[in-house]
Chains A and B, each alone.
Chain A
Amino acid sequence: GAVVSQHPSRVICKSGTSVKIECRSLDFQATTMFWYRQFPKQSLMLMATSNEGSKATYEQGVEKDKFLINHASLTLSTLTVTSAHPEDSSFYICSAGGGLGLRTEFQETQYFGPGTRLLVL
């Protein structure tokens, strides 16, 4: 399978600050990246879909001005949590999909990053 990295793996910040999370597809060029949020003992909640060079599509209820997503290249997407508050504390996971090239597995499959644990004090 393909490798997707996320950085940082864990971040603690003060309320009101902004935090940027990077998601990189290391093995293939991903036309689409996804950002999910996961609460303890729950499934993943899709936040937004990001296509390279386009504005992200946010799910209903997700504040696009709070969660800024940039997908500047086929291997990098970033999520910036602006003016973070304690209720934004969560586990954020990205995935990369729609790979370009000949390998069918990269075209058909979403590969997930290891996640970022955000704690806002």
Chain B
Amino acid sequence: AQSVTQLGSHVSVSEGALVLLRCNYSSSVPPYLFWYVQYPNQGLQLLLKYTTGATLVKGINGFEAEFKKSETSFHLTKPSAHMSDAAEYFCAVTYSGNTPLVFGKGTRLSVIA
């Protein structure tokens, strides 16, 4: 079975500050890990993913995440927050492209001017 824990249902940062959203996963098989972003009343947009290969992955809008197998973590970071980053962020795990994603509960990111 797979599971995802996102620490912090709400994270608030100042504009220009570091963004760190935490995600820990549990998986008995090599995981595929994803971060998605959701703006109000919209679907989910893929930020980045890890499947195999390089453990530091870069995504859109300046976000990146590092897969740490020893820590079972896949934390999302961005060096400098922008107002437009305010949204809901979901971490998800699966083991193939055609198996269901298991989502964390989500973290709402607020950016303060």
Contact = CB atoms under 8 A, between A and B. Distances in A.
Interface residues of A, number: 29
A51 B98 CA distance: 9
B36 A31 contact: no
**Interface residue SS majority, chain A:** strand
A115 B97 contact: no
A37 to B, nearest CB: 12
What interface size band does chain B fall in? Answer: 20 to 34
A31 B43 contact: no
A67 interface: no
Contact of B45 (A32, A106, A112, A117): A112
Given A6-B43, A108-B51, A109-B49, A43 B103 contact: yes
Given A113-B43, A117-B41, A108 B97 contact: yes
Lowest 3 CB-CB distances: which A-B pairs, in order? A98-B98, A32-B98, A112-B44
